[in-house]
Each structure stands twice: as C-alpha cells, then as structure tokens.
C-alpha cells in the first residue's frame, strides 16, 4: 500500500514495500522529483539498504562461526514494512526481525523509517533497534534516484551535488580477488 502526505509545497508518497519513498511531487513547479522506476533502466525509486550497504565478498559473511547468505544491499528494500504511524506531516514504517530475516541476518531487531514533510523539505530518519544485548553489526543507507533535469526544467549540466565545507573526498579501491579494501593507496575525488 502507498501512503501519501502533502502540504502547500510537496506531495510525498511512501510504499509499504521496502518503506520506499516513491514520489516527491513539487507542487510549486508542477514536477516529479523522484525517478519513477522505469524497469527498462532501473526498477526502484529510493530503496533502503539494510542490513548491509553494497555486497559481501562471495555473497556471504560469518558471525560467531556461522555462515549466512547475503544479497547486495540487504533485504529491507524487498521486505514488506508495516505503517505504524501517520500524521499530517509524517509517515513511519517498521520492519521487525522474523524467522525469514534470521535466515540471512541472525539478529532480533526493529527498523523504523520515518519520512517527515516540512515546508519544501523531506527528511528521512532511520532508527535501528537491537532487541537483545548482543552486539548487532549492520550498515544502513539510502539509494535515492532523482529526475534530472527535474520536470524537464533546465539542462543536466545545471545540476550538481554540494558537500558543504569539503573540497574533496578520499576513497579506497576494492581488490576483487579478496573482497577487501586496498588500504595502502588512497585516492582523492575533487568536488
């Protein structure tokens, strides 16, 4: 089911499937901001990546000596969440661990994702809760896709990402034979 909230500036829709943001419609400029999941190119809008971002080497990992299968970007994006709260300006979804999730991820957890609308901005808040005292390893991330140029306004060259206060980012490459970072050589990406 898709849930929608709106104000004078934006209409925001979030799907129970993956708690995925599937639309941000800009009412002021009459344009859709989020990619509309054309399966000929990419079938998603803005998936949530949990309990892992990226891919584990050889598609598995070990915890306490037990090997678990792992798919790229985890299972949250393909899971059915429950909408647990909806107000005039927010939608909150929850995913709880189950026998099915424990086949790939051995922890008891609760993942809450809240989308909040305030004027012409949308915030996405993630809350990961361990339901026992054991150390719970995870990574979480977003993978939003945007229409560029938005609504056909302007050209692609007019759009840019800004990293406030940073002129560059450092990164490492992955050794594909071992699945680990090559730590002795850092690269710089000028912004």
Query: 87 or 54: whose pLDDT is higher?
Result: 87
Q: Predicted confidence band at 185 (pLDDT cuts at 50, 70, 90)? A: very high
Percent of the chain with pLDDT over 70: 99
Is CATH 2.70.98.10 the classification given to domain 2-159? yes
In the block, residue with structure tokens 């419609």: 25
pLDDT for residue 156: 81
Non-local (6+) Cβ contacts of 61 within 8 A are 67, 68, 70
pLDDT for residue 31: 92
pLDDT for residue 179: 78
The separation between CA 158 and the C-alpha centre of its own chain, rounded to angstroms, equals: 25
pLDDT above 80: residue 151: no
Q: Which residues pair with 24 in a beta bridge?
A: 12
Instruction: In the chain, count H helices and then E strands.
Output: 1, 14
Q: How many other C-beta atoms lie within 10 A of the C-beta of residue 56?
A: 16
Predicted TM-score (pTM) of this structure: 0.86
pLDDT for residue 120: 95
Closest by CA position to 107, among listed 83, 78, 128: 128
**Mean pLDDT, residues 161-184:** 86
Return the SS3 of 180: strand
Closest by CA position to 38, among listed 160, 154, 157, 145: 145
pLDDT for residue 164: 84
| Alpha-carbon span 50 to 64, nearest angstrom | 20
């Amino acid at each position: 089911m898709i849930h929608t909230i709106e104000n004078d500036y934006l209409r925001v829709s979030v799907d129970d499937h993956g708690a995925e943001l599937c639309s941000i419609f800009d009412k002021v400029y009459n344009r859709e901001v989020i990619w509309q999941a054309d399966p000929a190119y990419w079938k998603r809008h803005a998936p949530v990546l949990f309990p892992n971002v990226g891919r584990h080497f050889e598609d598995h990992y070990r915890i306490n000596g037990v090997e678990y299968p792992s798919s790229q970007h985890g299972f949250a994006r393909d899971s059915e969440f429950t909408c647990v709260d909806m107000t005039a300006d927010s939608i909150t979804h929850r995913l709880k661990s189950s026998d099915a999730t424990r086949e790939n991820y051995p922890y008891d957890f609760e993942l809450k994702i809240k989308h909040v609308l305030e004027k012409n901005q949308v915030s996405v808040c993630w809350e990961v809760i361990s339901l026992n005292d054991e150390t719970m390893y995870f990574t979480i991330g977003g993978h939003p896709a945007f229409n560029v140029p938005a609504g056909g306004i302007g050209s692609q060259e007019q759009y840019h990402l800004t990293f406030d206060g940073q002129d560059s980012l450092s990164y490492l490459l992955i050794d594909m034979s071992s699945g680990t970072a090559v730590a002795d050589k850092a690269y710089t990406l000028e912004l």
